[in-house]
Amino acid sequence: MGIASLKRITPRLRSTLRTIAVVVAMPVILLVILGAILIHPVVAFRTRFHSALRLWMNVFDWMRDIPIGYTYWVQYQAPVMLDEIVVHHDE
């Protein structure tokens, strides 16, 4: 096996191992998310379960090997920040 073949196998192996880790840890991940909801149910309802959603999205960010929190930021925080920038720019 040469170095070139190892460079092709390594990303697939990393992705496979991360997927297996998430599948094996899924019961614990779900318990943590459920615990976050049950510890602070009022906050969970008030924020429309964004804390649980953030935890869930962080797991998938880690699994896809992108910075943790990036997907949540792009979908929920960046649009609000961009709206604020546009408002301040118009003034």
Cα–Cα dist 25/32, whole Å? 11
pLDDT tens-digit readout, 30-88: 998 888 888 888 877 887 777 788 888 888 888 888 888 888 888 887 777 776 665 55
Tell me which residue range forms the domain holding 69. 3-90
For the segment 76-87, what is each residue's pLDDT rounded down to a tens digit? 877 777 766 655
Residue 1 has pLDDT above 60, yes or no: no
d(CA 56, CA 30): 9
* Contact predicate 61/69, CB 8 Å: yes
16: three-class secondary structure by DSSP: helix
> What is the H or E stretch that residue 3 is in?
helix 3-39
What's the number of domains the chain is made of?
Answer: 1
Query: What confidence tier does 24 reach under pLDDT thresholds 50, 70, 90?
Result: very high
